[in-house]
Amino acid sequence: MIAAIVGVSGAVGQEFLRILEERDFPVSELRLFGSARSAGSKYRFRGEELTVRELRHDDALKGVDYAFVSAGSDVSKEFAETITAHGAIMIDNSKAFRMDPEVPLVVPECNAEDALVHPKGIIANPNCTTIMMVVVLKPIDSLSKIRTVRVASYQSASGAGAQAMAEVQQQYADIAAGREPKVEKFSAQLAYNVIPQIDVFRDNDYTYEEVKMFDESRKILHSDLRCSATCVRISTLRSHSEAVWIETEEPLTP
């Protein structure tokens, strides 16, 4: 099996690389792709040094069976046809295709069978907060249909990417040294702080991050559940958490 990672230099791309090796994924060849800026970078995989290639509209992905893509929505949209042109299955981590009716949105613990039908050659990965929640909702919904979900998420800096994590670490260092911390990746200083807004607000007074949780959960669970969410950025580097309140049609015994 030949696999590829697109966006390997980012936080998620690095996790792809680590997990493929840690779990001894049956890969006979691994190809790494990135932007012009990251092209030429080198990463080790199973004792071998691999060089990152610049992602272009060419045949560099020919022969690839699975491409793990985490380079942002714009890249996913632009290169989807190039990535899938020779039969590769594109596992996309961005929001680009999540709500496309011809693209399955899959959490294996909940709807693995949906991944078997992928007419565009793309399987979408949900938003991080959605994944956490639906893994809990699915077994409950199988016992009694869920009517309503109210959730508050507390999302670490890792959700905004590797550069955002580095910014928070630098902010802590600057504050400890008595320097004014720089703010570039967030709307305000995140170190020693919480920011009660992730992404911009829509006309329904929910942010895009919050709306993702509604729409994606319904698609994954094949449900019409009602949902309300408040997404908050917190100053930990990794690990999100959520508080979820669930109303079911029938009473359940713990």
- Annotated catalytic residues are 128, 240
For residues 123 and 115, is the Cβ–Cβ distance under 8 A? Answer: yes
For residue 41, how far is the Cα from the chain centroid?
Answer: 23
Helix 208-221 to helix 128-143 angle, to the nearest 10 degrees?
40
Helix or strand run (H / E) with residue 212: helix 208-221
φ and ψ of 21, to 5 deg: -80, -45
For residue 68, how far is the Cα from the chain centroid?
Answer: 11
CA nearest 209: which of 234, 235, 231, 188? 231
